[in-house]
Amino acid sequence: MSSTDQLQRFIFDDADARGVLVGLDASYQQTLARHDYPAPIRRLLGEMLAAVALLSATLKFEGRLSLQARGDGAVSMLMSECTRQHHLRGIARIEGTVDSDALLELLGQGQLVITIEPDKGKRYQGVVPLDQPSLAGCLEQYFAHSEQLATRIMLCADDQHAAGMLLQALPGNDKGMRFAENWNRISHLGATLSNQELLELDNETLLVRLFHEEAVRLYPSNELVFKCDCSKERCWGALRTLADAELDEMLDEQGTIDMDCQFCNSRYQFDRVEIEQMRRGASDIGSDRVH
């Protein structure tokens, strides 16, 4: 999985369960290249990217899904996003000294927030406490409590690659003895997967290694890419919410108003002429990035 960025679904034909595999290479590296994160943060952000891609595969919607871990520790926030077009981006905010690689020690007391923003319809948000030792454990707790779906998640990342696997009971099935036996077997087999195998094996080899006695059907893969959807138009939309006096003060002090994207470090610059166009309700402001 280390050579490509892909998401691939699979299903157990005889066990009422499904799965997803995610491998990240270029998209992970492109996310890291825009920020100078310490090694533990790079790895946690890799897990966040793999996790949000896994979650996106379990939903049918047009829009975006975001995963945000917020706490009162040295790392105040970890965030990742995935759109229906399989565009990924992520960011971390560091407020103190990073001297651990443990999720709970870095984030402290906090919450894990899963947000679904459909292009049409209402925004949905699910929240679980950060009280498990791993991101995977927190997500399993979310599915157990909020979605009531038996779920097993494996996540890992090193300095070059990130990967994840999700196993999940299919919703709406009779939860009888046979179902429980099937799920326990598949879940236990999945738990034998090592980080090295998840990072290095191709999907077919990995599935044969884990589930060679199961009837597993593998679907075509989808490409995952790093892409930030920031734009000058979106920045302009944010500036519209400010009072004229506030905009004039910034222009008097700086000559221009500069807005930076935290995800990709692009900078958008507005001069006095463009601000006046905005006030007159002009619709075309261009889309130039300073960098």
Question: Quick one: pLDDT at residue 174?
Answer: 57
User: pLDDT > 90: what percent of the chain?
Assistant: 57
**SS3 state of residue 194:** coil
> How far out from the chain centre does Cα 88 lie?
7
pLDDT, tens digit (0-9, with 9 covering 90-100), for 8-30 = 999 999 888 999 999 999 999 99
pLDDT, tens digit (0-9, with 9 covering 90-100), for 73-84 = 999 999 999 999
Q: Band of the pLDDT at 173, cuts 50, 70, 90?
A: low
Same domain, 275 and 146: no
Which of 30-34, 118-122, 133-137, 242-246: highest mean pLDDT? 133-137
The answer to whether position 285 is within a domain reads no
The answer to whether position 291 is within a domain reads no
Same domain, 159 and 46: yes
Same domain, 211 and 243: no
Q: Band of the pLDDT at 2, cuts 50, 70, 90?
A: very low
The answer to whether position 40 is within a domain reads yes
Token pair recorded at residue 3: 């050579």
Q: Do the beta carbons of residue 8 and residue 210 sit within 8 Å?
A: no
Same domain, 163 and 35: yes
> How far out from the chain centre does Cα 59 lie?
14
Same domain, 81 and 183: yes
Same domain, 152 and 22: yes
Position 192 pLDDT exceeds 80:
yes
The answer to whether position 289 is within a domain reads no
Which of 124-138, 218-232, 241-255 has the lowest average pLDDT? 241-255
Same domain, 189 and 240: no
Angle between helices 203-211 and 177-191 (to 10 degrees): 120
Q: Do the beta carbons of residue 87 and residue 225 sit within 8 Å?
A: yes
User: pLDDT > 70: what percent of the chain?
Assistant: 93
Q: Band of the pLDDT at 170, cuts 50, 70, 90?
A: confident
Which CATH number belongs to the domain containing residue 244 in this structure?
3.90.1280.10
Position 175 pLDDT exceeds 80:
no
Given 208, 226, 244, the domain boundary residue is 226
Given 204, 226, 248, the domain boundary residue is 226
Question: Quick one: pLDDT at residue 3?
Answer: 45
Position 224 pLDDT exceeds 70:
yes
The answer to whether position 290 is within a domain reads no
What kind and span of H or E run contains 125? strand 124-129
Same domain, 114 and 144: yes
Looking at this protein, which amino acid is placed at residue 100? Answer: S
d(CA 1, CA 21): 9
The answer to whether position 287 is within a domain reads no
Same domain, 264 and 178: no
**SS3 state of residue 121:** coil
Taking alpha carbons only, the member of 100, 53, 43 closest to residue 80 is 53
Which CATH number belongs to the domain containing residue 147 in this structure?
3.55.30.10
Q: Do the beta carbons of residue 153 and residue 54 sit within 8 Å?
A: yes
Helices of type H across the chain? 26-33, 39-56, 103-107, 135-142, 177-191, 195-200, 203-211, 232-239, 244-254, 272-279
Same domain, 153 and 238: no
Non-local CB neighbours of 197 within 8 Å, separated by 6+ positions: 206, 209
Looking at this protein, which amino acid is placed at residue 213? Answer: E
**Over the chain, what is the mean pLDDT?**
87
Non-local CB neighbours of 212 within 8 Å, separated by 6+ positions: none
The answer to whether position 16 is within a domain reads yes
Position 285 pLDDT exceeds 80:
no
Domain tally, the chain: 2
Q: Band of the pLDDT at 269, cuts 50, 70, 90?
A: confident
Question: Quick one: pLDDT at residue 286?
Answer: 52
pLDDT, tens digit (0-9, with 9 covering 90-100), for 86-129 = 999 999 999 888 888 888 889 989 999 999 998 888 888 999 99
Number of Cβ atoms within 10 Å of the Cβ of 36: 8
The answer to whether position 187 is within a domain reads yes
Phi-psi region at 276: left, alpha or beta (left = phi > 0; alpha = psi -120 to 50):
alpha
Same domain, 138 and 222: yes
Looking at this protein, which amino acid is placed at residue 246? Answer: E
Position 52 pLDDT exceeds 50:
yes
d(CA 280, CA 244): 12
Provide the domain limits for residue 11. 6-226
Question: Quick one: pLDDT at residue 274?
Answer: 83
Same domain, 127 and 252: no
